[in-house]
Copies of this chain bind each other. A is one copy, B any other.
């Protein structure tokens, strides 16, 4: 069991007031994983020879990595969410994960590191979408 899930299980406030714990753990884990994958994919992209083809991927991975990292942090502080903040933040995350995942997927056949990042983006996009549904 990940630390994120253990943390949710041992938090003194009553999580059930806020959200479904399993879905929340999935977003926190998926966003953290995607943040790391995007940083690593940017680095791998920069080591490719046909660099001009990778620029869009690099740009998207940078924004996606930053936004996923802040989503993981904000959702990890679950004691007093403001839906007026969390909802647009998750919408931004879902949007950048979709666009970044699409771009990474395009490069996946030639660059396996982009395939790994595409999968991380898809998983985070889906976790954000599910959580947005639960919240509404």
A: which residues have CB within 8 A of B? 2-4, 6-8, 10-13, 28, 32-37, 39-44, 46-48, 51-52, 55-56, 58-59, 62-63, 65-67, 69-70, 72-74, 76-80, 82, 84-86, 88-89, 91-92, 95-96, 99, 111-113, 115-117, 119-120
> Which secondary structure dominates chain A's binding surface?
helix
Q: A3-B119, A10-B113, A36-B32 are in contact. Are A47 and B79 (CB under 8 A)?
A: yes
Cα-based distance from A41 to B7 in the complex (angstroms): 7
The complex is assembled from copies of this chain, and their number is 4
Q: Judging by beta carbons under 8 Å apart, are B99 and A85 in contact?
A: yes
Question: Can you show 28 pairs from A to B with CB atoms below 8 A apart?
Answer: A2-B33, A3-B34, A4-B33, A7-B36, A7-B41, A7-B44, A7-B116, A7-B117, A10-B112, A11-B40, A11-B44, A12-B113, A28-B36, A32-B32, A32-B36, A39-B72, A40-B77, A46-B55, A46-B58, A46-B59, A56-B80, A59-B79, A59-B80, A63-B85, A67-B74, A69-B70, A85-B95, A88-B92
Q: Judging by beta carbons under 8 Å apart, are A39 and B77 in contact?
A: yes
A4, A51, A73 — most chain B CB neighbours (10 Å): A73
Q: Which residues of B contact A91 (CB under 8 A)?
A: 88
Cα-based distance from A116 to B86 in the complex (angstroms): 25
